[in-house]
């Protein structure tokens, strides 16, 4: 009996009608929160533009991966929530808060309308009833779907290959054994990380579609847990969070529903780890460094245990309550305020200097050993605006985000232009995923790219370099089944003589 994956006629993560009601409820709550903000006008200058791409995506029909809506939701956390939570913004005047929030709103609004050039164009302009229009569009999606992974066996192989690559690489990094790669370490990392994201996504999708069960599911689940733990062994959470997000996204696309119990559990665990990361870093990091002291695989279990215990101890403690919250410490609105306070009255505009670094960053390090570092833009901004000295940048990197970077270069004009370019990129990925099968190269590219774009603290050049590396890695990863299929075809038919034993056919994905 052949095992197949259902060929979904349309690729919606959730029911658009239910999503519409949910959006109205959430939007109402977010707008009412303006009554509790430090400055209601500044809060609305961010929140209303955050809701625009979400509204457009829902109104479009909720097709494809909501790349820009997801990024916009993160912008709400990084730019709007600090206006409600904490006291660190009380030192700024209301006019300064409004001006900074206005810049963020300009970025998101420009991105939304630029993305709509791709997303809105898919909707038919005319005539048929909504039901017939939906059926016709679904058929067009099915016809234009790009080269799905053809076999269940290939799906399993890609999952296990991606997880194995992630486990081996992160184990070597945790043990401090990557030095032998030399200048090729960046290339290997750029290939392994997107492969791991894709493998986690396929794991979630296969589980949601009912293709992973029994021993295979236990083995795959153990692989996801292992790669997530090893990726967090450096005491940075971002790698593990990306893997978990990929699994959840794949599961949602496979089941067409949100796993609320799993999301609550994951949020609880990540909250505990976030609460304890400061203490555990003091315990295990080398002095004046962001690397683990005497790194080895044997210390990872004790490290993770201490991390979890520290998090539980810090939650609700008096000292923790007096310290800045997570939202205050990760706020990027402070960075926009810092840039606008000094530019151009004290510090002149950079006039595109940070964007000129992009071509040099695209060159692989094995071709140019002396190439500039990937955090060069962030380090330039940190030194220029007095947040760090040149020596400190070797130990700590401060995130500034695209809005602050664009304003430091060209003011609000640069914010609008960069926002439009970012929106075009997000719109292209949304359109690509709307016309692709759930296991196609296009969908895998959109998934991995979305996770890359969720790093809203990075600058434009670093984001583009990482995105290019991600897309290249996904394409190489997804082409492996085709290479194997070609070799299988070249081998020719297999004889069934000598007893007439039937050869099992390879199981197709339909």
The neighbouring-strand residues paired with 440 are: 148
Predicted confidence pLDDT, tens digits, the chain (510 residues): 444 444 444 455 556 677 778 888 889 999 999 998 888 999 999 999 999 999 988 887 777 788 899 899 989 989 998 888 877 778 888 899 999 999 999 999 999 999 988 876 544 444 444 445 444 544 444 444 334 454 567 778 788 888 898 898 888 888 877 777 776 777 777 778 888 888 888 888 888 878 888 888 889 989 999 998 888 888 888 888 888 888 888 888 777 777 888 888 888 888 888 878 878 888 887 776 677 777 778 888 888 888 888 888 877 665 454 445 555 556 789 899 999 999 889 999 999 999 998 888 888 777 777 778 878 888 899 889 988 887 777 767 788 999 999 999 999 999 999 999 999 999 998 888 887 776 677 888 888 888 888 888 889 998 998 888 888 877 776 666 555 555 555 555 544 444 444 334 444 444
CB 227 within 8 A of CB 243: yes
Q: How many angstroms separate the most distant Cα atoms in the chain?
A: 89
The counts of H helices and E strands in the chain are 20, 0
> Which range of residues forms the domain containing residue 160?
152-328
Residue with tokens 């075009």: 424
In a domain, 217, yes or no: yes
Omega within 30 of 0 (cis) for the link into 147: no
Burial readout 97-122 (b: 16 or more C-beta within 10 A, e: otherwise): bbbbbbbbbbbbbbbbbbbbebbeeb
Report how far residue 75's alpha carbon sits from residue 80's, in angstroms, rounded to the nearest whole number: 7
Domain presence at residue 294: yes
Q: Which residue has the tokens 């893997």?
A: 243
Is residue 504 domain-resident?
no
Question: What are 12's strand-pairing partners?
Answer: 63
User: In this predicted structure, what is the pLDDT of residue 16?
Assistant: 64
| Position 351 in a domain | no
> Is residue 417 a part of any domain in this protein?
no
The answer as to whether 97 is a domain residue is no
Both tokens of 316, joined, read 């609700």
Asked whether residue 427 is assigned to any structural domain, the reply reads no
Measure the CA–CA gap between 40 and 31, rounded to whole angstroms. 10
- Is this structure's pTM higher than 0.85? no
Tell me if 275 is assigned to some domain: yes
What is the number of structural domains in the chain? 1
């Amino acid at each position: 009996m052949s095992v197949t994956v259902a060929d979904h006629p349309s690729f919606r993560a959730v029911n658009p009608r239910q999503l519409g009601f949910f959006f109205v409820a959430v939007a109402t709550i977010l707008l009412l929160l303006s009554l509790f903000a430090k400055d209601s006008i500044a809060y609305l200058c961010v929140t209303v533009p955050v809701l625009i791409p979400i509204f457009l995506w829902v109104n479009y029909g909720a097709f494809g991966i909501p790349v820009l809506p997801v990024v916009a939701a993160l912008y709400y956390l990084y730019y709007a929530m600090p206006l409600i939570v904490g006291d660190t913004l009380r030192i700024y005047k209301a006019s300064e808060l409004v001006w900074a929030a206005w810049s963020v709103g300009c970025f998101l609004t420009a991105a939304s309308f630029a993305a709509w050039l791709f997303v809105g164009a898919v909707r038919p302009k005319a005539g048929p009833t909504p039901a017939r229009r939906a059926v016709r569009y679904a058929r067009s999606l099915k016809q234009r779907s790009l080269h799905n992974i053809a076999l269940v066996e290939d799906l399993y192989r890609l999952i296990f290959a991606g997880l194995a690559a992630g486990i081996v690489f992160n184990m070597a990094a945790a043990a401090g054994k990557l030095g032998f790669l030399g200048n090729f370490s960046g290339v290997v990392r750029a290939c392994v990380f997107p492969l791991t994201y894709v493998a986690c996504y396929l794991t979630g999708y296969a589980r949601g579609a009912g293709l992973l069960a029994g021993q295979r599911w236990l083995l795959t689940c153990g692989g996801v847990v292992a790669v997530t733990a090893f990726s967090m062994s450096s005491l940075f959470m971002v790698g593990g969070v990306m893997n978990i997000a990929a699994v959840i996204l794949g599961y949602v696309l496979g089941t067409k529903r949100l796993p609320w119990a799993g999301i609550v559990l994951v949020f609880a665990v990540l909250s505990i780890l976030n609460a304890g990361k400061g203490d555990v870093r003091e315990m295990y990091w080398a002095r004046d460094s962001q690397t683990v002291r005497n790194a080895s695989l044997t210390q990872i279990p004790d490290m993770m245990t201490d991390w979890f215990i520290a998090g539980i101890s810090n939650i609700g403690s008096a000292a923790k309550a007096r310290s800045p919250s997570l939202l205050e410490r990760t706020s990027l609105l402070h960075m926009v305020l810092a840039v606008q306070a000094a530019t151009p009255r004290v510090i002149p505009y950079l006039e595109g200097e940070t964007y000129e670094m992009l071509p040099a960053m695209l060159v692989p390090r094995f071709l140019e050993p002396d190439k500039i570092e990937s955090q060069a833009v962030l380090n330039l901004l940190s030194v220029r605006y007095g947040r760090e000295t040149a020596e400190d940048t070797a130990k700590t990197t401060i995130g500034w985000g695209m809005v602050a970077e664009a304003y430091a270069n060209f003011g609000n004009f640069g914010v609008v232009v960069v926002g439009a370019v970012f929106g075009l990129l997000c719109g292209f990925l949304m359109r690509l995923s709307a016309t692709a099968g759930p296991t196609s190269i296009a969908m895998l590219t959109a998934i991995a790219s979305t996770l890359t774009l969720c790093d809203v603290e990075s600058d434009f050049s670093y984001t583009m370099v990482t995105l290019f590396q991600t897309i290249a890695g996904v394409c190489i990863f997804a082409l492996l089944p085709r290479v194997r299929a070609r070799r299988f075809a070249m081998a020719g038919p297999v004889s069934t003589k000598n007893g007439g034993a039937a050869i099992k056919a390879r199981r197709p994905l339909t």
